[in-house]
Structure 1
């Protein structure tokens, strides 16, 4: 059903274009729009371009979907170099696809369909936010347990992965990021550390999301953290950026963390 929604939107765009071309051929290339303004070939060409873009987008999604169904992961190709947050689903419409269909439904005054699409958009947004929140909790579980293997499962692969530990320069690349966590875990006491995440705020879009929170570390230290996640080809959400820094009140020194 979800594919049919977007397909109907694209068919509507193509139907509008085809109808206008037929009318122009019949009327000699120009006809009057309501209100008295003539619609010439320039208007028709603009409509054709819009229709062609919609059709090309639909074909691109179908081709990508064929590749992914063969591969079996059910998701679209992400950036091959892993250096961006772009993600396009092929097996199921994304939030962007639903928004396109919603605009089409409103334009066609199909308000019942528009209301249904709004509900779907809300549902997709909630699902993505929950997935980001789950991934964020997985990160802090690995942190508390001082587990290198669990932390490795949290992070994405690629040169775009970055981590900023408190008081340190940025660490770039998945391998270097994991080495930094190995060093931190080696300095932590046996059994890990008591790291709690409070005041969590989550936002998610098509294939990306972030969480902000306050890390409360054993010993009373507090750190402000930003965690950015990216949806992978297998549908999982992996971290691509972690940044933490000391929380400082007015007139107070920055928080220092000793593991």
Structure 2
């Protein structure tokens, strides 16, 4: 898109927050005098994620929806399917192995679509400044965290929501314009993540704020929720 080719700009759609010494020069939070004061960070550990399967998604295709609804508790266990596949191959039961491969492929595609839909729900809430939808997009727990551009990590559901309240309460007009580029979807079991380039601007602005983002999701009771959002200012 033509607007995206403009020189990198400060993102005027986020409130100012304290920057670390390494990121002060690239801060993209110039709006007003708001700060994430009192929103303390603490260390958390993301569960180990292995054997991730990636799917490339073209720009503008980031509003995916699950190909079908999967009832909670009815989703086949991926680890079990992998073990059964390995056993079938060892036993040279290739008919069974082919069936299991098909089941795994369908399971992965459903997972990608569902994670992409959860990613869309998050960005729709962000774009509209919709705090109710933003609360619903995140899983509740102490392990969740957010890293806004030029800021440290904010941990815990309540603190994360406070940070989004400050973003949504900033002095600018919603809805924002958000375009996602270079979108990739990765899923492994009950954990998935999306990487993308965020292009964001307010109505009437001629410049775009650019952030590289990683959004991590986990599946709870058959539904995907965000547990990590990490956005960093991007200079081309």
Give the TM-score of the pair, scaled to structure 2: 0.66
- Does residue 155 of structure 1 match 2:147? no
Question: RMSD of the TM alignment (CA)?
Answer: 2.1
Task: Return the index of the structure with the highest Cα Rg.
Answer: 1
Give a deviation string over 1:207-232, Cα, whole Å, max 9, x none: 01000011001131211000000001
- Does residue 138 of structure 1 match 2:118? no
SS in 2 for 1:187: coil
2:159 to 159, 164, 176: 176
* Aligned residue number for residue 80 of structure 2: 97
Hey, what's the Cα distance between the residues in 2 that align with 1:83 and 1:223? 23
* Aligned residue number for residue 237 of structure 1: 224
SS in 1 for 2:183: strand
Aligned pairs for 1:62-211 within 5 A: 85=47, 91-211=74-194
Gaps of 5+ in 2: 1-43, 49-71, 202-206
Shift of 1:91: 4.2
Hey, what's the Cα distance between the residues in 1 that align with 2:45 and 2:194? 20
- Does residue 225 of structure 1 match 2:213? yes
Give a deviation string over 1:29-70, Cα, whole Å, max 9, x none: xxxxxxxxxxxxxxxxxxxxxxxxxxxxxxxxxxxxxxxxxx
* Aligned residue number for residue 61 of structure 1: none
Give the TM-score of the pair, scaled to structure 1: 0.61
Aligned residues: 166
Hey, what's the Cα distance between the residues in 2 that align with 1:149 and 1:243? 21
Hey, what's the Cα distance between the residues in 2 that align with 1:91 and 1:223? 37
Describe the shift of the 1:92–1:185 C-alpha distance in structure 2 as closer, same or farther (beyond 3 A). closer
Shift of 1:90: 5.5
Select the structure that is richer in helix: 1
Shift of 1:190: 3.1
Hey, what's the Cα distance between the residues in 2 that align with 1:91 and 1:214? 34
Shift of 1:146: 0.3
Hey, what's the Cα distance between the residues in 2 that align with 1:204 and 1:105? 24
* Aligned residue number for residue 16 of structure 1: none
Contact 1:198–1:213, Cα closer than 8 Å, also in 2? yes
Select the structure that is richer in strand: 2
Gaps of 5+ in 1: 1-81, 250-259
Shift of 1:192: 2.9
Contact 1:140–1:197, Cα closer than 8 Å, also in 2? no
Any runs of at least 4 consecutive aligned residues in structure 1 with deviations exceeding 3 A, and if so which?
82-86, 89-92
Shift of 1:92: 3.9
SS in 1 for 2:101: helix
* Aligned residue number for residue 29 of structure 2: none
